[in-house]
Structures are given as structure tokens and as C-alpha cells.
Amino acid sequence: MPGLTIGFILPNSGPLATAAHIELVADHIERLGFDTVWLGDHIVMPRNVASRYPYTEDGAWPANPAFPSFEPIVTLSYVAARTTRVRLGLSVLVVPYRNPVATAKMLATLDNFSRGRLTVGCGVGWLEEEFRALGLSTFRNRGAVTDEYLRIFKVLWTERSPSFLGRFHEFADITCDPKPVQQPHPPLWIGGHTSAALRRAVELGDGWQAVRIDQPTFAACTQELRERAARAGRDPESLSISVRLVVDPFRAASEGRAPDPNDASAPLSGSPEEVAEKVRGYIQAGAGDLVFEFPRNRLTSMSAGLDIMNWIGEELRPRIQASSA
């Protein structure tokens, strides 16, 4: 597939989340020639979670609340200053967590300082306890809030004297400059694989990013996305399609067992060709952007994470690129 891009998640949360490790991985991503870096978004880590996590079969959240989580916009601003080439992504920004006007301003500022390298992954959020900790009563309406805030972003980024009257926020005749470097605005990639997320991607987004999703579900969602785009009068090819995949090539050897082919939530593991074949399935289903991450909650050292990054760069990437040319 021409234009295939490959990136990596920075460890801004979990047991390996330190400023030094984020610097180390960001430098290594640029050194290895990856195309993108990405950060997730949690402001607080509730110690008691009843909310269902959408990316595991049993709904259990694998994160440990005792570990830190660095704020993504601030962190990405630092990474922007530390790098020169890679695109900078939020995967994903939980849109309802922050005031939309302040968020639009921060993102436009980041796009300016990065010289137009920002991609904004956008999600509705899933963790009700985190909403409550932030003083937000909008969890039940988070989809509608996200839709409205995305519209606010676009108004602020594209109009000289923006005004907006919505259900959740309003303003009139203000100035919100500077505008983003990227015109009309940084790409908005909608995260999630529900029908609501796919609808949002077509109506309000520039792309779609799936997270920890098995190949059959990814293929079905890609087909639904394209059908929705066609019905809405959008060129399906105008929407970027991205998928986040956890890779742990040494997992089977370290645990003394073969990977379970029926475990859709398990990290991709196996030989370089075995993992490449799994990744090709996502590419054939429509993925033009791949975002890899190592299993942050399992690794006990940053050197193990760097080993996985090197393996992806040296063993996996050439096989993927050769089959996608």
C-alpha cells in the first residue's frame, strides 16, 4: 500500500512511565526512522474501577493505578521540541475531559511549534470514575459532548471571528489565534470501533483509528466506514485508516508456550514472518497507518521495550514494507 506509515506509542503511562523513558523512546523512534509517535490520555487513575474497559474480552482494565500517567498535550509539546521529523499524535485525546476552547488553543499552539506535525486522535472516553474525578457530569452524554466539541475546534481553527451556540458550550465574536499551521486544521482521527465512532469519523473526522482490535472486526468496521462515507457523499479513500497493535515477539519464548491463535486481545508474537503475516491482514483490510506498542504493563525494564522496538524496526518493518510496495 503506497504511503503506509508506521509509528509507536510513547510510554506516558504505566510502570515504565518516567520523563527519562519518554525522552529515550522518543529519541529512539526518530533514530529508527519510524513515521509517528503517539500518546494516550489519562489525567487521573482511579483506584477503584467499575467501568467496563472496551478493549479486553472480560472488560477488566489492565492498568495499575499506582503507576503514573503524564498529561499528553504537555508531553507532546516537549516531544515536538525534542524531535524534528516524526508526526506527533494523540491516541486518543479524551475530548470531553477539557474545556473545548482551551483545548483548541493548546492544539493550535502545538501545531505551530511543531511546524504542522500534529494529528489529533479523538475519543469519547470510557472511564466514568475519571469523569467524576474531573468534576464532569457528562459521562452519559459524552458522545454528544464530543461531537459538539469537535465542531467547536473547527470553528475556532477556521473562522476569523468565531461564534458558537451549542447544547454544552457557547461563545460569541471572539478571536482565537494563532490558527493551526495545517490547513484547514490538524487531522482529526476518531478512535473506537463502535458504530457511533464510525459515524463520527465520517461526519466530523479525517480518519479512523482502531485500538486493540482483531482482524475480522477490523475488516468489518473498515467496510462499514467506507459504506457510511459513500452514503454521506464522502470519498471513502479520503479517510485515513489506522490501527494500534501491541507487539511482544519474545512473549512465547519467555513464557515457555506458543501464542494462543484464538486470543484476539493477546499481543502479536511469534517469528518475524508470523507477526508480519498477521499485520498484513490489517493492511489488506484497509490500514494505511500502523501504530505499535510494547506491552507496558508486562515489561519490567525499558531495555526490554527498546529490544522490541529494534525488532520491529529491523525484522518486522522490512517484511511489511516489502509486501505493501
pLDDT digits (tens, 9 = 90+) for 108-167: 999 999 999 999 999 999 999 999 999 999 999 999 999 999 999 999 999 999 999 999
Instruction: Tell me the C-alpha to C-alpha distance, in Å, between residue 88 and each of 99, 138, 217.
Output: 21, 28, 27
Are 209 and 191 in contact by the 8 Å Cβ rule? The answer is yes
From the list 123, 116, 119, 130, the residue with the least C-alpha distance to 93 is: 123
| pTM of structure | 0.95
CA–CA gap between residue 272 and residue 318 (Å, rounded)? 10
What domains lie within the chain, and their CATH numbers?
Answer: 5-324 (3.20.20.30)
What is d(CA 275, CA 15) in angstroms, rounded to the nearest whole number? 25
pLDDT in tens, 277-316: 999 999 999 999 999 999 988 888 999 999 999 999 999 9
pLDDT band at 222, cuts 50/70/90?
very high
> 129: which 3 cell numbers?
470514575
Better pLDDT: 241 or 66: 241
Cell 493550535 identifies what position?
Answer: 108
Grid cell locating 32: 529508527
Rounded to an integer, what is the distance from CA 249 to the centroid of its chain? 22
Three-state SS annotation for the chain: CCCCEEEEECCCECCCCCHHHHHHHHHHHHHHCCCEEEECCCCCCCCCCCCCCCCCCCCCCCCCCCCCECCHHHHHHHHHHHCCCCEEEEEEEEHHHCCHHHHHHHHHHHHHHCCCCEEEEEECCCCHHHHHHCCCCCHHHHHHHHHHHHHHHHHHHHCCCCCEECCCCEECCCCCCCCCCCCCCCCEEEECCCHHHHHHHHHHCCEEEEECCCHHHHHHHHHHHHHHHHHCCCCHHHCEEEEEEEECCCHHHHHCCCCCCCCCCCCECCCHHHHHHHHHHHHHHCCCEEEEECCCCCCCCHHHHHHHHHHHHHHHHHHHHHHHC
